[in-house]
Amino acid sequence: MSQDSSNLSAADLRTSAGRRAWSAGARWVFALAAVATVLVSALIIWTVASGAWTFISQVPFDSLTEIGWFPRRGLFDLSTLLVNSVQISVIAMLVAVPSGFGAAIYLSEYAHPRVRKVMKPALELLASVPSVVLGVFAISFITPSILTSFFHEINFFNKLAAGIAVGLLVIPLIASISEDALRAVPLALREASSGLGARKVTTSIRVVLPAAMSGLMAAVIVGFSRAIGETMVVTIASGGGDTSLFNLALTESGGTFTSAMAALGLGTDQVAGNNLAFQSLYFLGALLFVITLVLNMLGDLIVRRLRNKY
Amino acid sequence: MTILTTPAGIATGAADALRKRPGADVAGSAFKWLLIGATVFATGFLAVLLAVMIVDGWDVLSGNLWYFLTHGFSQRSAGEAGVWQGIIGSLQVALVTGVFAVPTGVATAIYLVEYAQGNRFARIVELNIRNLAGVPSIVYGLLGLAVFAQTLRGFSGGTTAIAGGMTLAAMVLPIVVITSVEALKAVPDSLREAAYGVGATKWEVLSRQVLPAALSTILTGTVLALARALGEAAPLILVGAATGFMSFGDANMFETFTGPYTALPVLIFNFARQPGADWGVNAAAASVIILVLVLAVNGLAIYLRNRFERQW
């Protein structure tokens, strides 16, 4: 505490107790918010797990392999919903992957920076189109104006239109993830390829694409997970009612995990209570949660491995 | 060609051999046009979508748009039905979503970036956020139904706009956290160090320097998250938006938050479910309205981000 000419002591420089307490308190407020986000996950898991357990412990197991999904008659054939979910998601991928990859390669390898600067936000904008609108689009345009000219006997509600509309919805997601993957490929690889005299198309296909392959795989996996979880498009364009008979025809209607949940949710007033139909809602939610979680973690793992590579 | 050549001669010969022949790269240009086609398809369908909806909904959009915007749902006939309740309900739900999601999300991001870089709890929170981001929206509906509408009935009043808003808040929370983390990480450390250097406490560094610097980016992320909530229907169906229709009557502003509610995307779903072409017109017209709303909000956010993006 030596006196100097300005009469300052170390005590004068010490932060006041009030300011320190305020600062220390803030830390706990922020940490509490972080705890809240974990709590959301915990509540989701607890909700779906306890509801699903109630369902599993009460349902007769032979009602899980029946002629179709008729929850209010006690028929809970899971294969019906699984097959429809996978069919619709695969159609969605057939629409979204070529277009999404193409757009990604164009934006990352070919497009003028100025074009890229406009198109990237445009893709973000596309990602925000509400899914109900695409559902309406499916029944008011895709089925009547496009599909009826290829198929003579097509149901007004059908899996094909639902799949195409889900595909349109997933394009921006796939394009965005794959564009990131392509841009993560170091410029040196492209320069080396060009230096050996390769054309741009050769560089893109033989050098850049293989180098970004794991990222592109991740885009497909995450896109598939998004398609499996998409609800409104399927409910409007294919799910129709709350029941569906097992069928493999793409031109027929069919409910998925998600549309079956929405249909049960619409009738929560009627089916509320302890009956099995209401509990099957949670069981489907649990299945959906596990499927998408596994797919997303897989995609995440691949993306992070890619990030470490370069 | 002579055997004895000058270096210049060799170079010229090599250059000739390597020179690209004009017009030879058919595969190259075919590939390029294929990519352009894919890009046009990926982005152009929005235009088709809008055009189809405008054409289909033209009867309502051109004739009685004002009636459509200012009248409530009617079960009787399509011509009497409007989207007023949906618009009000969506605004209420979005308000509740913002109130819950923004403080929690931004605070979590601050904790992750400023306090806990890399410790075990932070890694758990980050993993948790990434996984939450991939949970299908309808699963959040189950959370809303079981927890916000039933367990917390005393607070939310059951399947109300409050319960719906809390459900969507849980859904968009990962988006708010992820965009806020990016915004905070973009603030250079020199700014923090300079503030510490003049004796500021951690809280003062945060509140006076870091947050103001990151504010515009955080706001953009928040707006994008709310726009996402605005277009979402699936979770709200489980939390009672499909069956509830607001009756304004003499209810005051607060009471409408705790009564039956609906939202614009759910209303579109209801229109689409009704049989008959005139309901289809309503669905298309309401789709145009929600598209314009969501695209305007998003476009504004993206514009603001590009406008205020700071290069450090």
Within a domain: residue A101? Answer: yes
| Domain of residue A287, CATH code | 1.10.3720.10
Within a domain: residue A7? Answer: no
Residue A274 pLDDT > 70? no
Q: Three-state SS across A4-58? A: CCCCCCHHHHCCCHHHHHHHHHHHHHHHHHHHHHHHHHHHHHHHHHHHHHHHHHH
Record the tokens describing residue A146, joined without a space: 């496009």
In chain A, the residue whose alpha carbon lies closest to the alpha carbon of B174 is A37
Query: Taking a C-beta distance cutoff of 8 angstroms, is the pair B102, B177 a contact?
Result: no
**8 Å CB contact of A103 and B39:** yes
* Contacts of A232 by beta carbon, 8 Å cutoff, 6+ apart: A130, A131, A132, A134, A135, A262, B233, B234, B265, B269
CATH of region B80-308, choose from 1.20.1510.10, 1.10.10.60, 3.40.50.150, 1.10.3720.10: 1.10.3720.10
What's the start-to-end Cα distance of chain A, in Å? 54
Residue A16 pLDDT > 90? no
Residue A152 pLDDT > 90? no
Domain boundaries, chain B: 80-308
Within a domain: residue A4? Answer: no
The verdict on A31 and A79 lying in the same domain is no
The verdict on A136 and A173 lying in the same domain is yes
Chain B stretch 273-302, residues whose beta carbon is closer than 8 A to a beta carbon of chain A = 273, 280, 283-284, 287, 290-291, 294-295, 298-299, 302
Q: What percent of chain A has pLDDT over 90?
A: 48
Record the tokens describing residue B125, joined without a space: 């929170």
Instruction: Return the closest-CA partner of residue B88 out of B237, B226, B247.
Output: B247
Number of independent structural domains in chain A:
2
The verdict on A156 and A196 lying in the same domain is yes
For residue B103, which residues of chain A lie inside 8 Å, CB to CB? 33
Could you give the ipTM of this predicted complex?
A: 0.89
In chain A, the residue whose alpha carbon lies closest to the alpha carbon of B19 is A197
Instruction: Specify the pLDDT at position A1.
Output: 46
Query: Taking a C-beta distance cutoff of 8 angstroms, is the pair A293, A171 a contact?
Result: no
Site from A19, A29, A40, A88 to mutate, B interface, most B CB atoms within 10 angstroms: A40
Instruction: Specify the pLDDT at position B310.
Output: 67
Instruction: Return the closest-CA partner of residue A126 out of B168, B246, B46.
Output: B46
Domain containing A252 equals 62-309
The verdict on A156 and A264 lying in the same domain is yes
Each residue of B265-303: pLDDT tens digit? 998 998 888 877 788 888 899 999 999 999 999 888 888
The verdict on A296 and A208 lying in the same domain is yes
CA-based nearest distance A62→chain B, Å: 26
For residue A48, which residues of chain B lie inside 8 Å, CB to CB? 139, 142
Taking residues A304-310, what's their average pLDDT? 69
The verdict on A183 and A34 lying in the same domain is no
Instruction: Kindly report the number of other CB atoms within 10 A of residue A47's CB atom.
Output: 23
Query: Taking a C-beta distance cutoff of 8 angstroms, is the pair B246, B85 a contact?
Result: yes
For residue B280, which residues of chain A lie inside 8 Å, CB to CB? 139-140
Chain B stretch 196-235, residues whose beta carbon is closer than 8 A to a beta carbon of chain A = 199, 201-204, 206, 224, 227-228, 230-234
**8 Å CB contact of A297 and B131:** yes
Record the tokens describing residue B151, joined without a space: 């367990």
Identity of the amino acid at B113: V
Better-scored residue on pLDDT, B241 or A263: A263
**8 Å CB contact of A130 and B232:** yes
For residue B244, which residues of chain A lie inside 8 Å, CB to CB? none
Within a domain: residue A154? Answer: yes
**8 Å CB contact of A48 and B139:** yes
**8 Å CB contact of B234 and A232:** yes
CA-based nearest distance B270→chain A, Å: 10
CB-nearest to B32 from A15, A110, A225 is A110
Query: Using only C-alpha atoms, what is the Rg of chain B?
Result: 27
C-alpha–C-alpha distance, residues B131 and A173, integer Å: 16
Record the tokens describing residue B92, joined without a space: 């209420």
H helix and E strand count, chain B:
16, 0
The verdict on A44 and A145 lying in the same domain is no
**8 Å CB contact of B39 and A119:** yes
Instruction: Specify the pLDDT at position B70.
Output: 78
Query: Taking a C-beta distance cutoff of 8 angstroms, is the pair B212, B219 a contact?
Result: no
B23: left (phi over 0), alpha (psi -120 to 50) or beta: left
The verdict on A70 and A142 lying in the same domain is yes
For residue A15, which residues of chain B lie inside 8 Å, CB to CB? 199, 201
Each residue of A33-47: pLDDT tens digit? 999 999 999 999 999
CA-based nearest distance A217→chain B, Å: 16
The verdict on A89 and A103 lying in the same domain is yes
B240: left (phi over 0), alpha (psi -120 to 50) or beta: left
C-alpha–C-alpha distance, residues B47 and B9, integer Å: 57
Query: Taking a C-beta distance cutoff of 8 angstroms, is the pair B262, A289 a contact?
Result: no
DSSP string, B81-144: --SHHHHHHHHHHHHHHHHHHHHHHHHHHHIIIII-TT-HHHHHHHHHHHHHHHS-HHHHHHHI
CA-based nearest distance B131→chain A, Å: 7
Chain B stretch 68-87, residues whose beta carbon is closer than 8 A to a beta carbon of chain A = none
Which parts of chain B register pLDDT below 70?
1-5, 17-24, 73-77, 242-256, 258, 310-312
